[in-house]
Amino acid sequence: MSGRLARRLRGAVALVVFAAYGLVAPAASSAEPPKVVLLTGGDPMQAAVLMQTQAIRNVLNEKLPLGAETFLDSVDGHRFSVDLLTPELFALLRKKYEGQHIDLVIAIGNYAAEFARAHHDAIWPDTPVIVTSVPEAWLKMSGAFPSTFVLIPYRIEIDKTLAIARRLQPGATRLIVIGGSAVLDKHFSDEIVEAAQTGDRRWSAIERWEGLSVPELRARLAKLDKRDSAVLYGTQYLDRDGRRYFPFEVVNKIAGDAPVPIYGWYANYLIQGAAAGAVYDLEENGRMTGMIAARMLSGDKSRHSAMSGPALPARCMANIAVLKRLGISERSLGPDCKWLNAPLPPYREYWKEIAVILFVIGAQAFTIFAMLRQRRERRAAEREAATRRADLTRASRIATVGELSASIAHEVGQPLGAILSNVDAADLMMQSAGHSDPELQEILSDVRRDALRANDVIVRLRTLLQKQAITFTPVVFDAVLERATALVRPEARRRGIVLRTVFGTQDAEVLADQVQLQQVLLNLSINAMDAMEDAEQKDRELVISTRFADDGVELVVADRGTGIAEENFDRLFEAFYTTKERGTGLGLSIVRSIAEAHRGSVSARSRTGKGTEFILWLPLAPAMPEPQRRRVSEEASV
């Protein structure tokens, strides 16, 4: 039966109790908890009794505002003669509860129900009584109960337990019935035999093992074969030698190593080692009884004729661990059967081990990932260091070439000076000799002009390459750049590039170092000409222009080269960053450093069509008198 059906059943029982009985306890305003007597038919320490009494107490303490004060008394009629003990027990309880106000009596089991019905008025007059954990069949034969009694029976469905045995052992034809020598033991054995004989006719042999001691039972069970024999255990409170037992103790002693499954109808039998059965859950019955008691103790005292609620049905339950030990499959029982001691899924049974393994694997994976990442970063750093070393080596070579260029310029300057001297001497000699050959004069003029032009280039190179202090002085922006353009023009002509200049700032002055300003133009121009190396002839044009912009002046160097990818603009001015095979990555970095030293800025952008523009912006020099201007120039020297 599903959990939902069980909840509906408990609700139905409670509804019957409320509608039919409406029995109550003292008003809620009472400062004392209600007093409840728990009268058990068996020994209070018997598992079947203990499970129910604990469940009842737990529910009462949970549901009632002040909890409940409980008193426990026992008839223990299963193991001792009720007729012998009843007079003394009656006298004891009557004296015990004389003058006590008891709000509710709960009688658990057949013997407790009989005792309460017989002596209720004398011991607990006008007190409502709940009779629970009594078989439905016994209740029908026991006669009427007083109107103040609420009855909660259970149903022993032996035929269902036999059906479970048939499903688990389809080949078994021999039925063994185990019971004790007590009256109740024999009663249950009779019911089992009757159910087996009137039901399925498959049992060819039915044997009653009554009153046997535990060693005898174990010896007989050891000889059975699970293929042809099934065992159904009722109760054994007493054996034929007079030894007393709790029924669940017998199960615990005989089922552990039995080669055949043992069936029964109490849930605690399965806990002790029985295999399966249509069981009556004692703990569930205790919780249901406690719920009904709590509602009665919270209601009124109106009395009605006694009625019985629906009996708690038996439900299929199987001890999977026992079936596994015996090699019997539980699949034939169906999905509605409740499993006891079912093996947990591996992820639940070994969750600690799995957690440790996953942690170790995760830690190892993290370590490996960290090591791989460290290795990748180390290799990247090594490659970067190698690149930096190569860049520094290249920069060193450039510096060396610069030093050599200055020396070459000096060495070339001397022959040029000698050529000019010889031309002047030749001219004087011709004049003194009276020679006036026009063609010869024209040749000497061409030699003088070309030598002066070459000497001018050498002077500019020496000025540009020589080591000197950086001096910020007011200079005419266009004039400085025009002089530097003279150095760019021969290189442009050599590369087949058209150089076009548009100087538009006229006499505007900036506070700058002339050499560094010229170096900016040279670096940007060389960079632009390199970008047009693979361009078609019609596109090989370099435009150098100046203009006013935002309280300053701008130098614009524009080309029609291949252009720069959008993602590379942010790195253009980084040191040693270059997209050219033979580039050093220092030119644009130096341009940015010079721009920042002059409190200016440099930027780049793509031109419409194709190509790139580099823009240098510098602030205008402040206007000041000439003496002050010279003083500022001296103070600005570094």
Please report the pLDDT score of residue 24 as a whole number: 45
Which parts of 297-350 fold into alpha helices (H)?
320-326, 346-349
Alpha-carbon distance of 592 to 594, in angstroms, equals: 5
Locate CATH 3.30.565.10 in the chain. 468-619
Q: Is 3.40.50.300 the CATH number for 347-463? A: no
Locate CATH 3.40.50.2300 in the chain. 35-154, 158-279+313-343
Residues 410-423 have a mean pLDDT of 73
Per-residue pLDDT reduced to its tens digit, 117-129: 999 999 999 899 9
Alpha-carbon distance of 574 to 588, in angstroms, equals: 8
Per-residue pLDDT reduced to its tens digit, 56-100: 999 999 999 999 999 999 888 767 776 778 888 889 999 999 988
Alpha-carbon distance of 296 to 23, in angstroms, equals: 5
Are the C-beta atoms of residues 555 and 616 closer than 8 Å to each other? yes
Q: Quote the distance between the C-alpha of residue 13 and its chain's center.
A: 46
Residues 335-356 have a mean pLDDT of 80
Neighbours of 116 (CB within 10 A): 26
Range from 162-171, 294-303, 472-481, 491-500 carrying the lowest mean pLDDT: 294-303
What CATH architecture applies to the domain 468-619? Answer: 2-Layer Sandwich (3.30)
| Class of the domain covering 158-279+313-343 | alpha beta
Q: Is 3.40.309.10 the CATH number for 35-154? A: no
Alpha-carbon distance of 291 to 535, in angstroms, equals: 97
Alpha-carbon distance of 617 to 605, in angstroms, equals: 14
Locate CATH 1.10.287.130 in the chain. 347-463
Per-residue pLDDT reduced to its tens digit, 151-184: 988 888 899 999 999 999 999 999 999 999 988 8
